[in-house]
């Protein structure tokens, strides 16, 4: 029997066919064809059929550079993943966007909890403890650049700056904090594709890469 995550995915797919940079197309017999959104309509794509192969597809960008954060909009092109059922689709999507389907399912059930950035920073230890000294103004600038959808990250930010519930950055559009919107970009463009429904990639807490950037900002300030 399908679990909560698969049920949430199946329900979402009745209204949309996109997750991040990925296009999902149903085929006869209950299967799915998954490809990069930019590649829809191409007939020269390399074919894969194992959901585990998604891990290797997602590992590097078109230039062969390693992708440490899988929600950065630089997924490689030129592939087509053919999956026989919803379970294999779910497994593949978990490789493309680790943990995001679980966050989506929890959000749909009103069970998703978020953590303010300040709380994330204050619980850091060791070399990252200094990150908590970042100023609100520096957070505004950093998040506005590092987390932007165009070239930054395709997650929709649900966490706040601090306990006052302030937005992390006034330099980001309001849609960046709206879970009813996806942050996926239009094919071969730099503008959000807000007209077509998507399964959003939700961000409930600042990632380790952002924490590292906060530390870097503080260290640069102290060295000046």
Domains recognised in the chain with CATH numbers: 4-98 (3.30.1360.190), 117-223 (no CATH)
CA separation for the pair 89, 213 (Å, rounded): 33
* 2-13 mean pLDDT: 87
Under DSSP, the state recorded for 39 is G
CA separation for the pair 172, 53 (Å, rounded): 34
pLDDT in tens, 135-171: 999 999 999 999 999 989 999 999 999 999 999 999 9
pLDDT at 189: 40
pLDDT in tens, 175-206: 999 987 778 754 444 444 445 678 999 999 99
Q: Specify whether the CB–CB gap between 203 and 157 falls below 8 A.
A: yes
Residue 19 forms beta bridges with which residues?
A: 22, 199
User: Given a cut of 80, is residue 103 above it in pLDDT?
Assistant: yes
Residue partners of 191: CB distance under 8 A and separation at least 6: 150, 185
pLDDT at 123: 96
Residue owning tokens 């440490």: 68
First to last CA, the chain: 59
């Amino acid at each position: 029997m399908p679990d909560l995550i698969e049920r949430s995915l199946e329900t979402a797919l009745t209204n949309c066919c996109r997750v991040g940079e990925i296009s999902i197309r149903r085929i006869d017999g209950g299967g799915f064809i998954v490809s990069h959104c930019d590649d829809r309509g191409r007939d020269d794509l390399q074919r894969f059929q194992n959901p585990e192969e998604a891990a290797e597809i997602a590992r590097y960008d078109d230039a062969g550079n390693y992708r440490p954060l899988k929600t950065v909009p630089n997924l490689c092109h030129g592939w087509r993943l053919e999956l026989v059922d919803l379970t294999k689709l779910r497994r593949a999507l978990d490789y493309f966007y680790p943990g995001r389907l679980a966050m989506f399912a929890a959000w749909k059930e009103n069970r998703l909890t978020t953590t303010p950035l300040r709380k994330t920073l204050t619980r850091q230890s060791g070399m990252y403890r200094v990150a908590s000294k970042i100023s609100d103004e520096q957070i505004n600038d950093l998040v506005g650049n590092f987390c932007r959808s165009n070239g930054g990250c395709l997650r929709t930010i649900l966490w706040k700056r601090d306990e006052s519930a302030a937005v992390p950055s006034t330099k980001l559009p309001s849609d960046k904090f709206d879970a009813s919107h996806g942050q996926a970009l239009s094919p071969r463009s730099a503008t959000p594709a807000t007209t077509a429904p998507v399964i959003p990639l939700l961000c409930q807490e600042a990632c380790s890469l952002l924490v590292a950037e906060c530390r870097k900002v503080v260290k640069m300030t102290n060295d000046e």
